Amino acid sequence: MKIEDWKSAGPNAPLYRELASLDLLPNLAELDFFGFTVVPPEKVGPPEFHTAVREALTGVIEARFGAPGADGLTWKDANQIFRLILWEHRVFEELLMNPAGLGLVQSLLGTNCILSLFDGWVKGPGEGRTPIHMDHWDFTRKTFAPEPNSANFNYLVTDYSAADGAISFVPGSNRWHRAPSPAEVKYWADRAHPVEAPAGSMVIWGDQTWHGSFARENVGERLMILGTFSRPYMQTQEPFRDTVTDAALARNPVRFAGLMDVYGAFPFGKEDADARRLTANVNNSVLEIAEYRSLFDREPAGDSVSIRPRYDYETFDREQWEAGRQARMARARARSAED
Ligand SMILES: O=C(O)CCC(=O)C(=O)O
């Protein structure tokens, strides 16, 4: 079937074509049927890229905790997350924009998703392991809608096997739409399917898939980078909107600004949403399906994007409000002229 630019499908049509060009259609089917998928290193990047990511993560670990000892026991019994590492090396920005990872995440959350977490993860030999859970952190709800609200990639910095302390999944649990009970957490701990994959692979899943990890039997460290993305109306778990700089926005493609949520509508002040930024075509608009930003776009955004202004939420400036209204109307006119 020829995938055309059907307006009814919005940005999913070009996204699908790009995922097809990356030979990732089986991964879409795996996400749908089983709730997780593994992309092999050669579809993620060349060997030099994998080396650069590994060196960058080991650099972060050494900067925060010192170099691990040669006996491979420094991180014994640990399952340690290194929060907010995105700004510590440029190669992390490249990893975030990786077409395979971002493309599959967008297939789950929409092309306007935002970045919620970007962390390193170290696991040593011994007791450290992650209990079976789902990533939908609304503990007040007993059942969930069919579609995920957040999705993850795990970039494997070291090889994964059960004895390495791999992440594990309960295949098909993405269709159960509920959290595991305490009894199920126990039941699946050693029965979940371990991901056995080489360093440089990317594992992708949506927030409803039950997952955990095995304890590491081998000495040395299991290293991984976690990216979590969410729908744009959600609160992010790390403050990318507040920590991103104009320089970081300028050196990355426009979609990066969308991931940082610097053009998002919320919170409203007395003047309502900033319509000039909402209509700027940075595709994290919550009000409309914005223009598709290609996964392969590497053009630096330069000064076409900027960090979120410091709004005075308590002020109502009639002129500002009028400028926003005009911008919104101009955009609506342009859209109807296109139709
Ligand atoms: O590998 C692990 O220990 C679990 C990973 C995990 O739960 C996550 O990345 O959300």
pLDDT > 70: percent of the chain: 97
Ligand 1 center–CA 52 separation, angstroms: 22
Q: Which atom of ligand 1 is nearest to the CA of 224?
A: 1
Q: Which atom of ligand 1 is nearest to the CA of 222?
A: 1
Number of neighbours of residue 311 by Cβ within 10 angstroms? 14
Q: Looking at ligand 1, which residue's alpha carbon is closest to its atom 8?
A: 226
**Is residue 162 within 8 Å of residue 218, measured between CB atoms?**
no
Ligand 1 neighbours (beta carbon < 6 A): 79, 130, 135, 152, 154, 167, 211, 213, 226
Q: Which ranges in 110-234 belong to alpha helices (H)?
A: 182-188
Number of neighbours of residue 9 by Cβ within 10 angstroms? 14
Ligand 1 center–CA 228 separation, angstroms: 11
CA distance 111 to 10: 10
The pLDDT value given to residue 131: 97
Domain architecture of the chain: domains with CATH: 7-230 (2.60.120.620), 240-338 (no CATH)
The pLDDT value given to residue 339: 64
The pLDDT value given to residue 328: 79
Greater confidence, 334 or 123?
Answer: 123
The pLDDT value given to residue 289: 53
Q: Looking at ligand 1, which residue's alpha carbon is closest to its atom 6?
A: 212
Q: Which atom of ligand 1 is nearest to the CA of 211?
A: 7
pLDDT in tens, 245-278: 999 999 999 999 999 999 988 999 998 888 888 8
φ/ψ bin of 161: left (φ > 0), alpha (ψ from -120 to 50), beta (otherwise)? beta
Q: Mean pLDDT check: name the lowest of 24-28, 42-46, 238-242, 315-319.
A: 315-319
pLDDT in tens, 219-243: 999 999 999 999 998 999 999 999 9
The pLDDT value given to residue 284: 54
